[in-house]
Structure 1
Amino acid sequence: MSTVSIIDTAAAAVIRRVDVPGDVHHVAVDPTGRFAAVTHPGLGGVTALDLSSFEIAATVATGPYANYAAFSPDGRRLYVSNAGNGTVSELDVERWIVRRNVIVGETPEHLVLSRDGGRLYVNNVDAGTVSVVDTPTFEVVDNLAAGAPLHGLELADDGDTIFVAVMGEDRVVAFDLAGRQRRDVALAPAPYHVAAIAGTGKLYVSSDVEPKLWVVDGETLAVLHEIEIDGKGHQIAQPARR
């Protein structure tokens, strides 16, 4: 059993702790604010938390080593990568059931949705590819070869470019989604997580080995500078723009 903490950001205080039935890897919150989804790699599924009552709404089996989760823009669908069997599951949020599964590549982990929810991008860590899933048909329509192993995945602020951290090759790769052109930049050691900083055209990239972030120009992929941190950078996020 593990615990999920609910934090009041204005008060900077934990207001609730909710016990969930397995180890926790990733937490996603739906855009409407109704639910949070918690992945359980060891249990092979997700727990849905009702954010109005802070009660467990459902626990759903998806597949071995459920790793990452992402809600559709309208909050009606949840996508979960199952790293243990190379699939992604689509869940119906109203009924909390698995609607469909799609086979992607070896060891799928991070997920990113297009702004309109029509495309789901899946990094297949050991395959070294990014699968492009058409969400209406739930079929793979493309595979982008990036290199292996992968880790971080991010969509540019304008939605036209996908960025991939190729940890095993010490580089970040950018794919232009319209023309499928590929660009890359060497970053060593071991680029890990990637975050596009809205409104700036910049990427923040952490290292799996050294305590720092690279700040990268999203257009040219030039390294602008580095930021020292106090340990290995994992998840990177920024406040919502107002």
Structure 2
Amino acid sequence: MRKTAPLISAAILWALAQASAAQAFDPDIRNNTLAISPEESLAIAGNSQSPTLKVYDLASGKQRATLPGFITPRNIVFSPDGRSFYVTDSSKGLLERWNAGTLKLEASLALGPGAFGSAIDRQGERLYVNNQASNTVSVVDLKAWRVSKVITGFSGPRQGVKLSPDGADLYVTNFRSDKLSVVDTASLSVLREIGGFNKIRAISISADGGTLYAANSGNDTLSKVDTKTGRITATVAVGSEPYGAALRPDGKVLYSGNLKSDSLTEVALPAFTPAAQIGGLSGPRQAISFSRDSRKAWVLNEDLSVAELDLATRRITREIKPSVN
């Protein structure tokens, strides 16, 4: 019995560790995520309070599948060829690769608890993942399926992470310090920081890379940033608690997702002035996606339904709802 006692104790400790790992790592930090496949046939939606992802068929407007096995899913991005999508889960501490055709899990990569926002390059070779717990950004080599480098020096990086159109710069939001970090993707080092935000949330970058837009949920504004000088050049008032700062592909309009106002604020560009409020939504955040032709937008609601908007008329044309199962 004396020989087996240590083994029994070890087994108990292992079981306790596994049970602890199954708990939500950061349940007080809430967000949602929506990814549209490159050919605009699938929408995959999730929020950090649900252990499943919803997969919607955009042609039929119906739910196609429910993907289980998550604790706090944080972000979803498709590969440029649309064959795969990647999901971060901050409690599991994993990056997962799913097959977009079969909707099956293909591989998992450990990044540590706190894995949050992600951004993929145009070649589909690198994925950058924020870790709000360790204050780092992991650089993932997708072909080798390994972490090639961990960049340090951040302060609570969460959802906001974007690559410049030319892929030369990575912009990382620091929620704790209310600053943007600019990372050189060649050297994988932090070049500088940009300050002056108020509870910074989502960001977008213009096609020429010269202008960055950021949502400030602390004072209900969007900021316009000159990326060359690193200065905020203008702010505009929007709805209550804006999380989104989504730039339409044609570059003509910017949209804030206003969590408390249940609306989007349409901001005309380059004037950077409010043009309209689009209502009828429920707790929209940063999960806003567009069709390539800039005619449609898909906005995720709190109940994981997806509102499809006609951007010319500013009307919701249909709502794709999750199945009851």
TM over 0.5: yes
- Tell me the CA shift for residue 41 of structure 1: 1.3
Map Cα deviations across residues 117-164 of structure 1 (whole Å, 9 max, x no partner). Answer: 221111111211111111121111121113232111111243321111
Query: Structure 1 residues 138, 221: CA separation in 2 closer, same or farther (over 3 Å shift)?
Result: same
Partner of 1:20: 69
Question: SS of 1:147's equivalent?
Answer: coil
Which residue of the other structure, out of 69, 91, 98, is the alignment partner of 2:118?
69
Q: Does 1:97 align with 2:141?
A: no
Q: How does 1:177-192 map to 2 (within 5 A)?
A: 177-183=227-233, 184-192=235-243
What is the identity, as a one-letter code, of the residue corresponding to 1:38? V
**Is the partner of 1:153 in helix, strand or coil?**
strand
The question of 1:42 aligning with 2:73 is answered no
Q: Write the distance in 1 (CA, Å) between the matches of 2:142 and 2:69.
A: 18
Structure 2 counterpart of 1:161, one-letter code: T
Aligned residues between the structures: 242
The 1:98/1:200 distance shift into structure 2, 3 A limit, reads: closer
Which residue among 256, 263, 267 is the counterpart of 1:216? 267
Distance 1:191 1:23, change over 3 A: closer
In structure 2, the partner of 1:162 is: 212
Q: TM-score, normalised by structure 2?
A: 0.69
Change over 3 Å in CA distance of 1:207–1:42 after alignment to 2:
same
Deviation, structure 1 residue 6? 3.4
SS in 2 for 1:85: coil
How many angstroms apart in 2 are the aligned matches of 1:179 and 1:201?
23
User: Which consecutive unaligned segments of at least 5 residues does structure 1 have?
Assistant: none
Distance in 1 (alpha carbons) for counterparts of 2:278 and 2:79: 31
The 3 A distance-change label for structure 1 pair 188 and 226 is closer
Partner secondary structure for residue 99 of structure 1: strand
Query: 1:238/1:104 Cα in 2 relative to 1: closer, same or farther (>3 Å)?
Result: farther
Identical residues among aligned pairs (%): 25
Which residue of the partner structure matches residue 54 of structure 1?
103
Paired residue type of 2:230 = R
Residue identity opposite 2:201 in structure 1? H
Any idea what SS the aligned residue of 2:170 has? strand
* 2-structure distance, mates of 1:28, 1:168: 27
| Aligned residue in 2 for 1:7 | 56
Kept in 2: contact 1:157–1:196 (CA 8 A): no
Question: Which has the bigger relative contact order, CA under 8 A and spacing at least 6?
Answer: 2
Which amino acid counterpart does residue 128 of structure 1 have in structure 2? D
Shift of 1:21: 4.4
For residues 48-99 of structure 1, the C-alpha deviation after alignment (integer angstroms, 9 at most, x for no partner) is 1122443222211213311111111100111111111211111111122111
Alignment RMSD: 2.0
Aligned residue for 2:288?
A: 236
Aligned to 1:205: 256
Distance 1:15 1:240 in 2: 23
The residue type equivalent to 1:11 in the other structure is S
CA drift of 1:215 comes to 1.0
**Equivalent residue runs for 1:125-140 within 5 Å:** 125-140=175-190
Q: Tell me which amino acid in the other structure corresponds to 2:219.
A: E
Higher Cα Rg, which structure:
2
Paired residue type of 1:93: L
TM alignment of 1:169-180, pairs within 5 A: 169-180=219-230
Q: What does residue 146 of structure 1 align with?
A: 196
Which residue identity is paired with 2:291? P
The answer to whether the 8 Å contact 2:57/2:63 transfers is yes
- Structure 2 unaligned regions, length at least 5: 1-21, 23-50, 295-325
Per-residue deviation at 1:170? 2.6
State the AA in 1 paired with 2:196: A
